[in-house]
Structures are given as structure tokens and as C-alpha cells.
Amino acid sequence: MDIKAIRQEFPILSRSINGKPLVYLDNAASSQKPKQVVDAVSFYWLNEHSNVHRGVHTLSQDATIRYENSRKQIAEFIGASRPEEVIFTRGTTESMNLLAWSYAAPLLKKGQAILISEMEHHANIVPWQLLIERRPDLRLLVCKIDDQGVLDLEDFYNKLHDNVGLVSITWTSNALGTINPVKLLVDAAHKVGAVIALDAAQAVPHMPINVQETDADFIAFSGHKMCGPTGIGILYGKYAILDSMPPFMGGGDMIRDVSFEKTTYNEVPLRFEAGTPSIGEAIGLGEACNYLTGIGMEKIAQRENELLQRATEALKTISGYKIYGESKDKAAVLSFLISDAHPYDVGTLLDQWGVAIRTGHHCAQPLMQRFQIPGTCRASFAFYNTEEEVDFFIEALRKTTKMLIQ
Amino acid sequence: MKNIAEIEALIIQDFEFLEDWTDKYNLLMDMGKELAPFPESFKTDQYRIQGCQSKVWLKSHLNEDKRVVLEADSDALISKGLVALLIKVLNLQTPEDILHAPLGFIKLIGLDSHLSPNRANGLASMLKQIRLEAKVYAQQTASAS
């Protein structure tokens, strides 16, 4: 992997922040964008744009082809058996809400449970709570995790047998980096007849994914965490299940025929894409898949793991460190605290060094409560980060903690 | 008793010769450490300022001279320094003066980036809360007189 060449494709990485070269270690929040993606999006807007699925004129047909071609690229990227299994949403959050209202609300049986875990992002907690407010017969079960941030499989199997209709669990924890043994979870869920959804927002951008091998019924992820634009994401679903689901929102594109007496719904996936979609963003996401494939997801996973190992070892040389998330199988997310230094102070001072990390609860407050901490500092790495950046980050952290702990 | 502009001038003097940002932040955090102890029993949601990533508590009352007494604390050192900075300038001032002070010193000492409403640290939120309470006192004073 030619990191130097790759970094040149991301102009933002050459920026200075507070007079220092930017060290961007907030990739789990959002990745940066390569020129290829931005160019594809801007070329579309400047030369190819029209509304999709509507016009008989050439531009509209071309835009439709570009949009649908992007769906194909994404389907190929995740190994879906057909492009129709890829639904465009605004992101993982919308994907989870779509699941709640178009799968769980109409299709879960009375008294069934939804099984999540203690390490979920709010996007995989709150939609279920909102659902249960409307359908109080449904229950939310929460699988425990251990002190290393690893899913308690015994607890998972136990709770799975409590009339679970839907398992919705993160593939990779955004706050701990834990990569869950999803194949195991999928098989276990299917054995009890439950449907399983994976929040793959932190998984798809960082390792090779094949949805057919994983065999999960639904997989949700976001474009902006994988070099694509914001405002676009995916809900992958198995065709037969998607086809059994009613629409999420009503409007244009999702209908076949509308009359005041009765409206019939469109086929999958358009049934779930009401209104004019984010066409440019979808094209950008397709290009992002293309870009990542060009580098190779295996290589990306390996590269990011090397950076994580380097950072983890170096962090351990700072006295008072505590790492949150020590799973053997771990994505390039390093969540930590240094003695009693407040994450907010650490993040603010690191910013003065040009180092961007995330601080706070990472939209996973129940997880923070589980560890009895208000939040952590989180450095998250991408393939375009360098060893020098990791070292600079650690040195800046060392100086920062010296300022904060006397 | 110095007025707001006079105190601002003193703070500007303190910060003026600090070229290195680390010195600036060290001074800010030291100011936080000099804050009068804030009773643990007041560290409740009632006194918590929303909009800060760290916890910041603020309590005020109007004293016999009709001046605003401000007390605050935070669980983070920089937030505590920022709120201490505001208290240094605004404590024991009249509600009217607090409401109308332009507080230009924040920009002059190079901490104005913290004033952006998007910043999770909430200097803007702290100031908003102090002014909100000053406004209540100003109305009370006006209706009493």
C-alpha cells in the first residue's frame, strides 16, 4: 500500500490545525473523502443530474442508470446476491428506524422480544424504545458484556431463548472496537427462528464483508464512515424478508398505484425509498466502494490493525492509562482514559497539537454506565493514517496528560 | 470594586505575554483551581449548565448590594478555567452591567474559539446561563424599585 500516494488523494490530510499538521484520528466518527469520490459526485451534479425513476427523457434515464449502477456496486462490495437487497437510506440510524417500523412493528408477534447488547450505539437502542412505546407488548432484552468489552455469549444464548423475534446487535463496537463473532450469533439466532440485524457501521468500512457468508437477515451501514458522502447509508436485507415488509414512509417512488381508496406499493427496494433519493450521495457511495475495492479491504484491515497495535503498545507507556475494549478481535478503535484526566480536557488540548480524537460517551451512554465512566477518549484509525501520526499522537498525549495531572 | 472593563484589562495583561498556547491553558486551568469551593450538594441537575461535554454547575444569588454572586464548578479543568474566567469578570457586578458587558477580552486573549456555539465545551452556554440569571435579577430589581 503506497500510503504517500493514498494521502495525496485526501487533500484535507495536508491541512494544518492550530499551526500543526492535522493528525486525524476520529475516523470512527467520520472518514475523510478521497478526490475520486468528490469528483464523481461533482461530475454527476454538474453534468448528469436529473430526477431518477421518472422521466422519459435521456438525462433522467441516464441518472437512473447511474443511481442503480451505484446500488449494484454496493451490492457487489458487500456480496449481496442481488442489487434489490440494497436499500438506500440516510445512514445507519435511518436503516435501524426503517427496520423498527417496517419489520419489527408489523411483523413481530405479540410478546416477542428484541435482543440487543450493552455495547450498542444509541441508534440501535432508541428506535426499539420508541417502537415499544407504540407496541408495549414487545420487550427489549440486553445481552451483557464482560470487563474486556466482549459479548457474554452465555447470556446471549440464555436470552435468545426468551421468545426473541429479532436480534439486533453491533458487528463492531464504535466505542470499544470489539468485533463480535457475528457468524456465531447469526446461526444461534436462526436456530431459534429469530431474525437478526447487524449494525455494521463500524464493520463495513474496515474489513472484507460478505453478507451471504455472514447470513444475517439485515445489515445496516453508513456511507460517510467509508469514504463516501454524508446523508447516505444502506440497509441490506434478504430479498424474501424485504418483500414481506410494508413501506417505511409514504410518498413518491414507493408506490405502484395511488387512489384515495387504495394505494399499492412498489417492488423492493423502491418500496422503501420514498421521495426523491439522495442521488449524488448514492453515486458517491458507489464510487467509495469502488475506491476501497481498489485498495483492497484485506489490506485495509491489516494496515489498520498494525496502526492499532502500534498505538496500543505506545499508550501503555503512559502511566495511569486504562484501555476500554480489550477484545482479541478488535477494530482500529482505541478507547482510553489516563488517570482521572477528563476526556474533554484531553481532547481540547490534543486539538491544540493538531490531533483530532473523539471524546465523550460516543453515543453509547448505557455502555459508559456499564463501565461507570462519563466517557472516554477515542482514537480511531484509518488506512490513510501513518506510523508517524500514531507516534505524534502518543507524544502529544504524553505532554497533554502532564499538563492535566500534577 | 473594579468594574468589568477594568478586570478585563487585568486579565488581558495576564494573558498578553503568553505566546505559547500551553502557558495560556495552564493559566486558564490555574484560574479554575482558584475558584472558591462549590458545595457538593449543589452539584445537581438543577444547577447544571446544558450544552457542555463536561459537567458545569453554576449557582447565583443577588446580595444585599444588589450585585450578582456567582459560584461554579466543573469536573473538567478547562471548563472550570473557562467558567472561572467569566466569574472573575462578572462576579459581584450588577445585573445590568452583566447583561450589557461586551466581554471583548475573550477574543483578545485568544479564547474566542471557545465561544462558538458549536463547541461542546460550552463557554457560550455558560455565558448564556449567567446572563439569563442576571436578567431575572434585573427584572426583580426593577419591579422592586
pLDDT in tens, B124-145: 889 999 999 999 999 988 887 6
B30 is catalytic: no
Pairwise CA distance, residues B107 & B103, whole Å: 8
Q: Are B133 and B60 in contact (CB under 8 A)?
A: yes
What's the pLDDT score for residue B119? 58
Q: Are A288 and A280 in contact (CB under 8 A)?
A: no
**How far off is chain A from B69, nearest CA to CA, in Å?**
27
Burial of residue B76, with CB atoms counted within 10 A of its CB: 0-12 exposed, 13-18 middle, 19 or more buried:
buried
Query: Is the pLDDT reported for residue B117 higher than 80?
Result: no
- The answer, yes or no, to whether the previous bond of A21 is cis (omega within 30 of 0) is no
Nine-digit cell string for A406: 500534577
Q: Are A67 and A49 in contact (CB under 8 A)?
A: no
How would you label B115-139 residue by residue, b for 16+ Cβ within 10 Å and e otherwise?
A: beeebebbbbbbbebbbebbeebbe
pLDDT one-digit tens code per residue, B52-96: 778 999 999 999 999 999 999 999 999 999 999 999 999 999 999
DSSP characters for A263-321? EEEPPTTGGG--SS--HHHHHHHHHHHHHHHHH-HHHHHHHHHHHHHHHHHHHTTSTTE
What's the pLDDT score for residue B18? 87
pTM: 0.94
CB contact (8 A) between residue B29 and residue A342? no
Which residues face B57 on adjacent strands?
A: B48, B73
Pairwise CA distance, residues B120 & A200, whole Å: 27
Question: Which of these, B115, B1, B11, B122, lies nearest to B68 by C-alpha position?
Answer: B1
CB contact (8 A) between residue B121 and residue A348? yes
CB contact (8 A) between residue B120 and residue A404? no
What's the pLDDT score for residue A282? 98
Name the active-site residue from A143, A227, A363, A377: A363
What's the pLDDT score for residue B38? 96
Q: Are A227 and A37 in contact (CB under 8 A)?
A: yes
pLDDT one-digit tens code per residue, A381-398: 999 999 999 999 999 999
Q: With contacts defined as CB-CB under 8 Å, which chain A residues touch B53?
A: 344, 359-360, 375
Q: What angle do CA A253, A212, A101 make, to 5 degrees?
A: 40
Dihedral over alpha carbons A177, A183, A186, A187 (to 10 degrees)? -150
Q: Does residue B27 sit at the A interface (CB-CB below 8 Å)?
A: no
CA A23 to chain centre: 22
Q: What angle do CA A42, A48, A51 make, to 5 degrees?
A: 110
Q: Are A208 and A400 in contact (CB under 8 A)?
A: no
Query: Is the pLDDT reported for residue B113 higher than 80?
Result: no
Q: Does residue A349 sit at the B interface (CB-CB below 8 Å)?
A: yes
How would you label A294-330 residue by residue, b for 16+ Cβ within 10 Å and e otherwise?
A: ebebeebbebbbebbeebbebbeebeebebbbbbeeb
**How far off is chain B from A17, nearest CA to CA, in Å?**
13
What's the pLDDT score for residue A119? 97
Q: Are A103 and A241 in contact (CB under 8 A)?
A: yes
Q: How many CB atoms lie within 10 A of CB B33?
A: 11
Pairwise CA distance, residues B59 & B61, whole Å: 7
Q: With contacts defined as CB-CB under 8 Å, which chain A residues touch B77?
A: 342, 345, 404
What's the pLDDT score for residue B121? 56
Query: What sign results for the dihedral spanned by CA atoms A363, A365, A366, A372?
Result: positive
CB-nearest partner of B79 from A344, A359, A360: A344
* pLDDT-derived band at B111, boundaries 50, 70, 90: confident
Nine-digit cell string for A92: 445507519
CB-nearest partner of B77 from A374, A375, A404: A404
Q: Are A205 and A226 in contact (CB under 8 A)?
A: yes
Q: With contacts defined as CB-CB under 8 Å, which chain B residues touch A359?
A: 53
What's the pLDDT score for residue B51? 73
Nearest CA in chain B to A400: B22
- Residues of chain A predicted below pLDDT 70: none
Query: Is the pLDDT reported for residue B120 higher than 60?
Result: no
pLDDT > 70 fraction of chain B, expressed in percent and rounded: 94
Q: Does residue B78 sit at the A interface (CB-CB below 8 Å)?
A: yes
Q: What angle do CA A201, A203, A208 make, to 5 degrees?
A: 135
What's the pLDDT score for residue B115? 63
CB contact (8 A) between residue A345 and residue B77? yes
CB-nearest partner of A344 from B21, B29, B78: B78
Q: How many CB atoms lie within 10 A of CB A59?
A: 13
CB-nearest partner of B26 from A18, A360, A403: A403
Q: What is the 3-state secondary structure (H, E, C) of B88-131?
A: HHHCCCCHHHHHHCCCCHHHHCCCHHHHCCCCCCCHHHHHHHHH
DSSP H helix total and E strand total for chain B: 6, 2
CB contact (8 A) between residue B75 and residue A342? yes
What's the pLDDT score for residue A374? 87
**How far off is chain A from B129, nearest CA to CA, in Å?**
20
Q: What is the mean pLDDT of chain B?
A: 90
Kind and range of the H or E run holding A140: strand A139-143
CB contact (8 A) between residue A374 and residue B75? yes
Pairwise CA distance, residues A240 & A76, whole Å: 19
| Lookup result for grid cell 457511495 | A285
Length of chain B: 145
Name the active-site residue from B52, B82, B101, B109: B52
Q: Are A170 and A121 in contact (CB under 8 A)?
A: yes
DSSP H helix total and E strand total for chain A: 15, 17
